[in-house]
Chain A
Amino acid sequence: MSPDSHDETESRKRLMALMTRHQRQIFAYIYTLVPDRHDAEDLLQETSLVICEKFDGFTPGTDFVAWACQIAWWRIRYSRQKFARAKVVFDDDVLAAVAHTASEMASELDERHEALAGCLKKLPPRDRELVLTRYEPGSGVAEAARRSGRSMDAAYKALNRLRKLLHDCVTNQLAHPEASA
């Protein structure tokens, strides 16, 4: 194996490890700015391609997530027109402000993600089933309402209540980790 191809293999391994570890965080960043699962996944895919292309510009030891999110940010800006038809579109100023806050909160979101697993387990089975059905790939509020035997209006209200419950549980768990052990 030539030194060049050895370097390439090492670089590929490093990228695979980083992407496997951090893909979820990059998706969360994108979803915060483009709150539609399918659009966010498309953007994640486009972003990942650019990350692959530009990976030799990444400095090992620096913050990979911050670097990748910067690439994602430009993909989002580039794709703004694609999402202009969507109901939830904020202007550039707002989007930039939210992006800045989201990048600052990356580590907090990580902690919240981990804590959320414990909080999901604490939900009564019927409530947990409703939430997970709502967020399943290919599903939505209508499917969650149908499977749980609720009306759409009741499903929306229940989901709002459960999201608030989960949010408070996560906040409480992070503030008092010993209590949730």
Chain B
Amino acid sequence: MNLTDREILELNEFCGAVVDGTLTDAQRARLAAWLRDSEAARRVYVRALGQSASLHNYAAEMQAEAPDAPVRLQKVLHFSLWWLTVFPAAAALVLGLWFVPRLTENTVAVDAPGAGDFVARITGSKNSQWSGAALPPGARVAKNQRLELAAGLAEITFDSGARIVLEGPASLDVNSAWNGTLHRGTLKASVPHEAIGFRISNPAVDVVDLGTEFTMIADGKGAADVLVLKGEVEAAPRAAADQDTILLREKESCRFASSGVSDVSDRDKKFALFTQPLALDYFSAAINYVHWSFDEAAGDAVQADVRGRPAGAFDLQIKADAPASLAAAHSEGRRQHALRFDGKLYAQAPFPGLSGSTTHTVAFWVKVPADGKGTDAYSMVTWATNSKKLGNRWMGINWNKDPVEGPFGVLRTDFRGGSAMGSTPLHDGRWHHITVVFAPGDDTTPVQVKQYVDGRLESSTIIPGTIRPVARATAKGITALTDVLFLGCRLGIDGQRKERFRGEMDELFITDRALEPQEIVSLMNDNRLPASALAATGFAPGGPGDE
């Protein structure tokens, strides 16, 4: 997108305000939308901020050269040469480290590209007719995919949890799990609490949802009506004359166009129309699961509640090296009892099919102590894979112990040298609900991992690492671990390593398909899956739930 001279002028003013600390909230929202959407705007921003960085540099140099410099020189040294003073200590650190993670271009964070990068799914429809390739119920929608609905209604559920009902004829770009662009047609968006911040753009306006229902009607000529049905939205007009963000509350509406902001014509009629419930056919693939409630009060056995699988086949065995350790393993949980990991014990259960590369979801509650140390981070849940794509290595749901690779304490899922990183620190002594969805990827990214913390999507970004397939001899050792679920320990080529997780775990579910965002919230709030998912039938290989 090219910028007009006027837009460049406005952007430069914003950049000046950023540097001087005078940016208003409305300007910040508009600037953020610009930076998110426009490469041209980002380049203007980077040039402007880079210029200010250079000016800081030149000003410091010239101050140091000035006759009255001695008093101020210390600050300049702090800026330019201070690191020489810390080098000896740092060098000693280098010498003391027996292993330093190698940061190379392979560790650059990238969005998983190509066909494997799905961010939404078609979850409902009514008489829908698509232009081009049809999108059947359950079909996944890739990042940056354009949806052209010729007629009828279609519901799209984004991985963030936001749901959109599109009414044809309509054209919508699915930009990410958090963002879509409506070019023409009508949509109704429902945004739950977990997806606050979801955004719909249009050439005339950016609408950021603050937890609500709203409708946007785009005329395809650059104008859009926005009607708020519930809650409130923040609407940032794109016409330069109306740069202030408008907060629209329930039952309020505006028309946004290049000429400015105006009232919506037939407002009452449109509100009456869009508050009517929509009669869609919804789709939900059947689901099988294994559930460990950890409600046992004593003993080394943990019973599994199973659906669609043989009962008794998934019971966990707690491995403790001392009776006292086992006795303390059954603690008070998020619901009744939980399993407490003391940094020594672990648990394991047979789980046929787990080591294959099928789609599944792992969900549980976890409490990590506030004084959690890096040695306590691996692994909450882990298993070996027998997939060549995954280098015959293990998958592990951990928390991040390396602040160089990501924020300390956040959810981290590791696989074949790559990882997915969350953003909420877990080491606060409180219960957090964790959901990790695994799906087969493509040639570039061997697996898709989506992490949810407390019901909110935290990451679908993969950080590729060095690919190090296991040697044939060591692969034998891993084969012995095939289809075994481990809780609370780290896996290595010889089986369980010494590292153990410290914390508590409750209500662990493993399902045989990717859970939808609303199913994740249902599991978090009610400890059970929605009745619609449990009642669904006809799930078979090749069906919508089988990737």
Which residues does A use to contact B, with CB under 8 Å?
A: 8, 12, 15-16, 19-20, 23-24, 27-28, 31-32, 35-37, 40-41, 45, 48-50, 52-59, 62, 66-67, 70-71, 73-75, 77-78, 80, 87-88, 90-94, 96-98, 101-102, 105, 108-109, 112-113, 116-117, 120, 131-139, 141, 156, 159-160, 163-164, 166-167, 170
Inter-chain contact A35/B19, CB cutoff 8 Å: yes
A137 and B72 within 8 A (CB): yes
* Whole-angstrom distance between the Cβ of A163 and the nearest chain B Cβ: 6
Chief secondary structure at chain B's binding surface: helix
For the complex, what is the distance from the CA of A137 to the CA of B59, rounded to whole Å? 8
Give chain B residues whose Cβ lies under 8 Å from the Cβ of A66: 105
Tell me the chain B residues, 33-73 only, with Cβ under 8 Å from chain A.
35-36, 39, 42-43, 45-60, 62-63, 72
Task: Report the bound CA distance from A136 to B75 in whole Å.
Answer: 10
B residues less than 8 Å from A132 (CB atoms) = 55, 58-59, 62-63
Please choose the segment from B78-86, B446-454, B526-534 that sits at the chain A interface, where 4 or more of its residues have CB less than 8 A away. Answer: B78-86
Interface flags, B78-111, vs A, CB<8A=1, else 0: 1111111011001101110100111111011100
Question: B35 to A98, Cβ gap below 8 A?
Answer: yes
Q: Which residue of A lies closest to B82 (CB)?
A: A45
CB <8 Å contact, A94 and B95: no
Asked whether, in the complex, the Cβ of B58 is within 8 Å of the Cβ of A116, the reply is yes
- B103 lies within 8 A of A112 (CB): no
Q: B406 contacts which chain A residues (CB < 8 A)?
A: 74, 77-78
B423 at interface by CB-CB < 8 Å: yes
With A52-B86, A102-B46 given, can you name 20 additional A-B contacts, CB distance below 8 Å? A12-B87, A23-B80, A23-B83, A27-B57, A27-B79, A31-B49, A32-B46, A45-B83, A54-B94, A54-B101, A56-B94, A132-B55, A134-B55, A136-B60, A156-B20, A160-B16, A163-B48, A163-B52, A166-B51, A170-B51
Name 26 A/B residue pairs within 8 A (Cβ), A-sorted. A8-B95, A12-B91, A19-B83, A31-B49, A32-B53, A49-B86, A52-B86, A53-B90, A58-B103, A59-B104, A67-B104, A78-B408, A93-B176, A93-B178, A96-B461, A105-B46, A109-B54, A116-B58, A132-B58, A132-B62, A135-B59, A137-B59, A137-B63, A137-B75, A138-B72, A163-B52
The answer, yes or no, to whether B23 is at the interface (CB within 8 Å) is yes
Q: How far apart sit A158 and B90, CA to CA, in the bound complex (Å)?
A: 44
Question: Contacts of A19 on B, CB cut-off 8 Å?
Answer: 83
Chain B residues with CB under 8 A of A59: 104
A78, B401: Cα distance in complex, Å: 12
Write the nearest CB–CB distance from A157 to chain B, whole angstroms.
Answer: 10
* B-chain residues with CB within 8 Å of residue A96 when the two chains form the complex: 109, 461
Residues of chain B lying within 8 A (CB to CB) of residue A36: 21
Question: In the bound complex, how far is the Cα of B87 from the Cα of A49, in angstroms?
Answer: 8
Contact B18 A35, beta carbon cutoff 8 Å: yes
